[in-house]
Amino acid sequence: MGQQTTQGTVEAGFESVREEFAAVTAAEDDDYAAQLTVYHHGRQVVDLWTGPGFSGDSLTGVYSCSKGAAYLVTALLVQDGTLDLEQRVSHYWPEFGAAGKQHLTVRELLAHRAGVVGATEGFSVDELADDRVVAERIAPQLPFWRPGTAFGYHALVIGALIGEVVLRLTGRSIQQHFEERVRAPYGLDFYLGLPPEQESRFLTTLPMRPTPEEQAQVDAEDPAGPYSLLNIAFNQQRPDAPAVETLPNHRVVRAKGPASVGGVASARGLARMYAAAISGTDGLPPLLTPETAAVFGQIQSVGLNLVTGNPSTYAVGFSAVADLYPALGAGAIGHPGADGSQSFADPSSGLAYGYSRRRFAFPGGPAAENGRLVRAAHAAATLAG
Amino acid sequence: MGQQTTQGTVEAGFESVREEFAAVTAAEDDDYAAQLTVYHHGRQVVDLWTGPGFSGDSLTGVYSCSKGAAYLVTALLVQDGTLDLEQRVSHYWPEFGAAGKQHLTVRELLAHRAGVVGATEGFSVDELADDRVVAERIAPQLPFWRPGTAFGYHALVIGALIGEVVLRLTGRSIQQHFEERVRAPYGLDFYLGLPPEQESRFLTTLPMRPTPEEQAQVDAEDPAGPYSLLNIAFNQQRPDAPAVETLPNHRVVRAKGPASVGGVASARGLARMYAAAISGTDGLPPLLTPETAAVFGQIQSVGLNLVTGNPSTYAVGFSAVADLYPALGAGAIGHPGADGSQSFADPSSGLAYGYSRRRFAFPGGPAAENGRLVRAAHAAATLAG
Amino acid sequence: MGQQTTQGTVEAGFESVREEFAAVTAAEDDDYAAQLTVYHHGRQVVDLWTGPGFSGDSLTGVYSCSKGAAYLVTALLVQDGTLDLEQRVSHYWPEFGAAGKQHLTVRELLAHRAGVVGATEGFSVDELADDRVVAERIAPQLPFWRPGTAFGYHALVIGALIGEVVLRLTGRSIQQHFEERVRAPYGLDFYLGLPPEQESRFLTTLPMRPTPEEQAQVDAEDPAGPYSLLNIAFNQQRPDAPAVETLPNHRVVRAKGPASVGGVASARGLARMYAAAISGTDGLPPLLTPETAAVFGQIQSVGLNLVTGNPSTYAVGFSAVADLYPALGAGAIGHPGADGSQSFADPSSGLAYGYSRRRFAFPGGPAAENGRLVRAAHAAATLAG
């Protein structure tokens, strides 16, 4: 069991979140390393970390939490009046209009309804690092399902697809927009494309380490075949395919910061981005108006996720995280990462949340401890008013 | 265990329903009070009640069974050719066409697809009592989900929304139509707006009384937050919000009879309304043609109910009750109430059913005993031919 | 436990499939009789059978595996450019455009979205044998659900409905197309309309024989009523309705070969048809281009099947069988039969599979042993490359 000290600070009224974080730590292994940061109405109220060699300044790959950055840029362009969610993707990007996808709207693309979840023949690491290569490969594809009638997680490609729309429309990449409009002005520790000078703070993600019971559970399942939707979406068609958990451990991925899974951040960076989005931070105004936040928090897809095989709820790109954390309001928007990380904003309570961990949690996706931590943070925020 | 006598009468061939009702009573607490009335091809064949201070003439709030009355009026207007299900709501009610709802049809509204399930800031009891106030507050709202792509129970507002359509179109409220075309001519003990002279028969609803095991089950769940879809839809955002179970206990609610939850009836009234709808009663013709009944029994929404979090099946407004009671035919239409009441018509067997109870059943919604009672009634009707 | 010998042959590399088939046999009753044939890249690699009086040449009713033949004909007509999936059914067949079905496309019809799953008043055996009679009865019906918004298995009528489209468009029945373009040229032991001279090879299907535990499980369920969607779709409205399991035991059904359930085949016939579809056999080219196979393998309907009450996934007519057998690729297409039979092609692995059994398996639909057999066949094919 974890013997590490919980480090960092909490504001008055949020002591219970520190206690919960310490309780999570105590239940984990000795090498558990994690960060938790929470903002309330734009003010940092929780900033905790634990684990050997880990600090509040440590950076790790945050996997699909990266998507939140891409969707925030998208929301800004919609708010500007530059991008129209009702417009067809093929209007901005003609090559995408092939094989029955000509009527698909930007809104449907963001809701994971396009049905082009991966490339049957697979991608190399270098290809996955480059959003333009991914977009070019996906554009001509026949969807695996009828566009608009179902949905499934476009795990490694959605960032490239919305990125291509943004690039065609504005002449600039999502990564550039994020750096200029979001990361730099708000001082976020969250990079889509990690500069060399920040490399020293980066720590590689450690592989999942199932318990014998967890491994037995995996072994008892009928495994998905190489050309299942699951393995196409996660690019696991071949025995030598790059494991998802290693992706940001490759410098080429970190350096280019593909918008689906290439982001590098601390929990501080995750939480501060969502605080900047709905509340503003340190005197800077919120990035999104309440109207834009509500538009992007509107539920678009609900039911069986054809890729993961689990029930899911997507807003406009963002995960509708209230389906995981019942305490949150109907318009809460965020995104988890495969490593176990989680990040969101809850306009109804003014909370912004970032959680990151160094070792992949079993069985992948938002780690179970987020349930306890979110509940504690929401309860404290409710008392704080 | 309940020691009360089962009172009332059953026709020859329906003795088994009386036995089932007595068995239900025996399994309940001593203060269990309930009514059960069944019609078969327009003739009353079961009329039973039990419980201290309760009689077949007693009236209670029937909560969402009220919606059945509103949908029956709607069906009559469609049957007349006055109202068009395919028309957009905003055609009849321009203010509703705001915030992305301009294309929503009357059919989709009735299928709980509009996505405007409540008011974020909440309603007072006086506001909930007045369908026009509710409609005015809901009209400008951004839907919580993309209209038409998902559905969820518009628990306290659907009656006001279809009511506003009816009022704008005909100049008369749903309550007026119901009184003039349905309640008065068919002599129903079912009021949307209880007249003062009937007040003496009204008994307040008693609060839910979970067993320790049931309470433990509730306590073990991660509770929904104040701005969850569930609590917005049931108007429970604030600690001082009016509890749903108390609504018809307020005279202002009973007096105005809001179409979502404000109805007051006996089981006789519930069953007789549905008998009048599909079979006619006492020499009066059926209100609906078989064609209209089939149109309103057509399934419109199926899957995860975004408000309740449970699977649901809606026809045109009405609940497609065969999903709860497998013995019923595909076109059966009805509606349960939060207190545990249930009411429906099953055209395939000629059954019309009303059940009401004084104390809220755990955990809310159609009480479990309806399963036994419906099965018994359907079996007896099948033998009766 | 089954003591029969496994007969037949497997190619080198597929011995494990023989072992699995023998293990299945050992776990069944003494009168278990079944056939299993597998093709790999157009070459027969597994051809096994077991059971008293059964051989590889035996023919049985294959129930809904028949639909695969109908869909293959449909795919050929789309590939030819003769039939347009996006066209409205009523364009080809005006009478179908009644009661709200005028906009339904051929694609939606094939995806079980039409909502006309049966005739409320029921069909006789003679009527079910004749696709034109079934089509004429269904055409004017009001759908049980809003066309396009939900789906459910059109168990006994889908073949007649697409058959009528084919007949109106081409002047020839699906049965004629199948015989001329598929069965005869590829030498398939799979008939939609069994010629008298093949009758001697036909063996009637034996009724389901639940264990006491299985029967208790059935008895514990609240049974579906006669006018439930389930019983309308399976034509079980009346106590004297013809049992589904007896349908191909009637000569009139076998002789006419209605496309929904009237096919007669061996496992060899089933597997060879799917091999012919995607790979070709014995020097003959594949019937379908990879593009056509992908178009027909695209998922169209996913979620709750309103008829069976179970989750289902339909491609364009075909079952998207990867939802049952995770090892298969995303574009695998096939169809099971109510008796327990199964049949499919998996383009990603080059597998074509046919399994047939003489006695209905509990509880109906694809028999559980297919899970083991498919896994073994896929594993062997993967090693074979």
ipTM of the assembly? 0.94
Mutation for testing the B interface, residue in C141, C142, C146 having most B CBs under 10 Å: C146
Q: Is the pLDDT of residue A3 over 90?
A: no
Cβ within 8 Å, pair B145-A300:
yes
State the pLDDT at residue C3.
61
C222 near B CB under 8 A:
yes
DSSP class of B308: T
Spell out the residues 6+ positions from residue C350 whose beta carbon is closer than 8 angstroms to its own: C40, C41, C42, C278, C279, C381
Token pair of B235 as six digits = 């108007």
Mark yes or no for CB contact A327/B223 under 8 Å.
yes
C145 touches chain B (CB under 8 A): yes
Q: Could you tell me the two tokens for B261?
A: 């939850």
Any chains having at least 3 CB pairs less than 8 A from chain B are: A, C
C-alpha span between C194 and C256 (Å, rounded): 7
Tell whether C3 lies on the interface with B, counting CB pairs under 8 A. Answer: no
Amino acid in the structure at residue B205: T
What pLDDT score does C257 carry?
Answer: 98
Q: List CB contacts of A174: < 8 A, sequence separation 6 or more.
A: A69, A70, A73, A74, A131, A159, A162, A163, A166, A167, A192, A259
Residue C2 pLDDT = 53
Kindly give the parts of chain C with pLDDT less than 70: 1-3
Q: Does B311 touch chain A (CB under 8 A)?
A: no
Give the closest-approach CA distance of A130 to chain C in angstroms.
25
Q: Which residues contact B203 (CB under 8 A, 6 or more apart)?
A: B53, B54, B58, B59, B60, B358
State the pLDDT at residue B2. 53
Query: Furthest-apart CA pair in chain C: how many Å?
Result: 57
Task: Kindly indicate the confidence band of residue A4, based on its pLDDT and cuts at 50, 70 and 90.
Answer: confident
Per CB-CB distance under 8 Å, the chain B contacts of C150 are 299, 302
Question: What percent of chain A clears pLDDT 70, i.e. is strictly above it?
Answer: 99
Residue A2 in this model has a pLDDT that exceeds 80: no
Q: With contacts defined as CB-CB under 8 Å, which chain B residues touch C149?
A: 299-302
- Taking only the tens of pLDDT, chain B with its 385 residues reads 556 799 999 999 999 999 999 999 999 999 999 999 999 999 999 999 999 999 999 999 999 999 999 999 999 999 999 999 999 999 999 999 999 999 999 999 999 999 999 999 999 999 999 999 999 999 999 999 999 789 999 999 999 999 999 999 999 999 999 999 999 999 999 999 999 999 999 999 999 999 999 999 989 988 999 999 999 999 999 999 999 999 999 999 999 999 999 999 999 999 999 999 999 999 999 999 999 999 999 999 999 999 999 999 999 999 999 999 999 999 999 999 999 999 999 999 999 999 999 999 999 899 999 999 999 999 999 999 8
Residue C149: per-residue pLDDT: 86
CB interface of C with A, residues 164-183, below 8 Å:
none
Question: Residue A148's pLDDT is what?
Answer: 79
Contacts of C322 in chain A (CB under 8 A): 225, 228-229
Q: Which of B113, B120, B153, B228 to mutate to test the interface with A (most CBs of A within 10 A)?
A: B228
Q: What's the confidence (pLDDT) of residue B385?
A: 81
Cβ partners under 8 Å of residue B324, min gap 6: B336, B366, B370, B371
> Residue B265: CB partners within 8 Å, gap ≥ 6?
B59, B60, B62, B65, B188, B189, B190, B191, B354, B356
Q: Is B311 on the interface with C (CB under 8 A)?
A: yes
DSSP B97: G
| Per-residue model confidence as pLDDT tens digits over B262-279 | 999 999 999 999 999 999
Query: Residue A326: which of B120, B149, B224 has the nearest Cβ?
Result: B224
Question: Is B148's Cβ below 8 Å from some Cβ in A?
Answer: no
Q: For residue B3, what pLDDT is reported? A: 61
Q: What is the pLDDT of residue C224?
A: 94
Q: Which residue of A has its CA nearest to C151?
A: A149
List CB contacts (< 8 A) between B304 and chain A. Answer: 302-303, 311
Q: What is the DSSP string of B264-302?
A: EE-HHHHHHHHHHHHT-STTPPPSS-HHHHHHHHSB-EE
A309-340 per-position pLDDT tens digit: 999 999 999 999 999 999 999 999 999 999 99
Q: Do C228 and B295 touch (CB under 8 A)?
A: no
The H-or-E segment that residue B191 falls in is strand B190-191
Task: Find out whether the peptide bond into A326 is cis, omega within 30 degrees of 0.
Answer: no
Q: Which domains does chain C have, with CATH numbers?
A: 7-67+176-384 (3.40.710.10)
DSSP state at residue A305: -
B375 has a chain C CB within 8 A of its CB: yes
Interchain CB distance below 8 Å, B349 and C227: yes
Residues of B in contact with A322 (CB under 8 A): 225, 228-229
Check if B195 contacts C (Cβ < 8 Å): no
Question: Six-digit token pair at A20?
Answer: 């919960």
Angle between helix A131-138 and helix A158-170 axes, rounded to 10 deg: 100
